[in-house]
Amino acid sequence: MALRGTLSTFLKTQLQACQISRAHSVAIIGAPFSKGQKRRGVEHGPKAIRDAGLIERLSNLDYPIHDFGDLNFQHPEKDEPYMHVPYPRTVGRANKLLAGAVSSAIGAGHTSIMLGGDHSLAIGSVEGHARQCPDLCLIWVDAHADVNTPDTSPSGNLHGQSVAFMLKDLQDKMPTIPGFSWMKPFLSSQDLVYIGLRDVDAGEHIILKNLGIQYFSMRDIDRMGIGRVMEVTLDHLLARKQRPIHLSFDIDAFDPSLAPATGTPVNGGLTYREGIYITEEIHSTGLLSAMDLVEVNPILGANPDAVESTASLAVDVIASSLGQSREGAHGVYQEVAEGKEDTEQLRL
């Protein structure tokens, strides 16, 4: 009975931390890291997003914004490849540090916003979130599924294997990779939905089908419309119970005409309206607890305008996820409405 009472208290504490984080304040965590893939420059993503006016934009929202700066990633002197996976210890160490930072932020009552960096960082971001909110669900908005294992990955790059580390269903398919001894899978395949897929490797396609993972390719979005896609997504994840949402958003989910400064662009991506609608619908649930915005690479922009447009789009995505509305500032409208005696005119 004592053990049961202790467990009950622990779970209640964890639930309270998740509830507070969704309403109280926002923590910005910069993760300037690029070793999960081979193209340098993505480590400058956090600075580019901040320079595009992130903090100023978020300061217009209704809750405090705390920018905790950038994490300081120390790289091992020697980091030999494992199989054909480059920098395994470096990536593992970085994600362990990030997991601790995200866990601390959410435990302190913040909604965590991680600025990448490459998408291998989601390993630590989602794992740190799960420490505080073990019943979380994950929405992965990306051109790529990032669910390769070392055996199925054509490149070996860990930014294309992030989800495989998380899934309990793939535990027997993932070898013990140096640098990840701290990491244990924590996510069920039923707790995950992909949106925006259009460049999926053969091995990943087999994994998606065999595990029955819910996903929406760009063809599905064309066929169903983004409104229906979001209805099905949120019903799939939240119909049984309300629980914290982790949104992991790769900027390459957008069409390259909108987000050219990124490492693995794929034609035929999300429009601006589709991407923002996704984030607006997630915000409307009131359940967003943590978010990643990754793969903004300023070095790969053909010119300053390309970099600015990509970074500004990242700011729009984050602000929309946190409540910025295309319908205008609701709080101001309510104050004006309360000052009017003829409310009938306001309904026009």
Residues involved in catalysis = 119, 142, 144, 146, 159, 250, 252, 295
SS3 label, residue 245: strand
Q: Angle CA(208)–CA(211)–CA(213) in degrees, nearest 5?
A: 55
Q: Angle CA(331)–CA(335)–CA(338) in degrees, nearest 5?
A: 135
DSSP secondary structure, 206-243, as one string: HHHHHHT-EEEEHHHHHHH-HHHHHHHHHHHHHSS---
Phi-psi region of 156 (alpha: psi -120 to 50; beta: other; left: phi over 0): left
Torsion angles phi and psi, residue 308, rounded to 5: -65, -45
Alpha carbon dihedral 195, 262, 245, 146, in 10-degree steps, equals: 60
For 232, residues 6+ apart whose C-beta sits below 8 A from its C-beta are 214, 216, 224
SS3 label, residue 303: coil
Query: Rounded to whole angstroms, how far apart are CA atoms 232 and 45?
Result: 32
Query: Rounded to whole angstroms, how far apart are CA atoms 179 and 169?
Result: 21
How far CA 245 is from CA of 87, 88, 126, 236, 259, in Å, comes to: 30, 28, 10, 12, 25
What is the side-by-side order of every strand in the sheet holding 245-250?
Answer: 65-70, 25-31, 110-116, 288-294, 245-250, 137-141, 192-197, 214-217
Query: Rounded to whole angstroms, how far apart are CA atoms 225 and 227?
Result: 6
Tell me the β-bridge partners of 294: 250
Tell me the β-bridge partners of 141: 195, 249
Structure tokens at 81: 């490849």
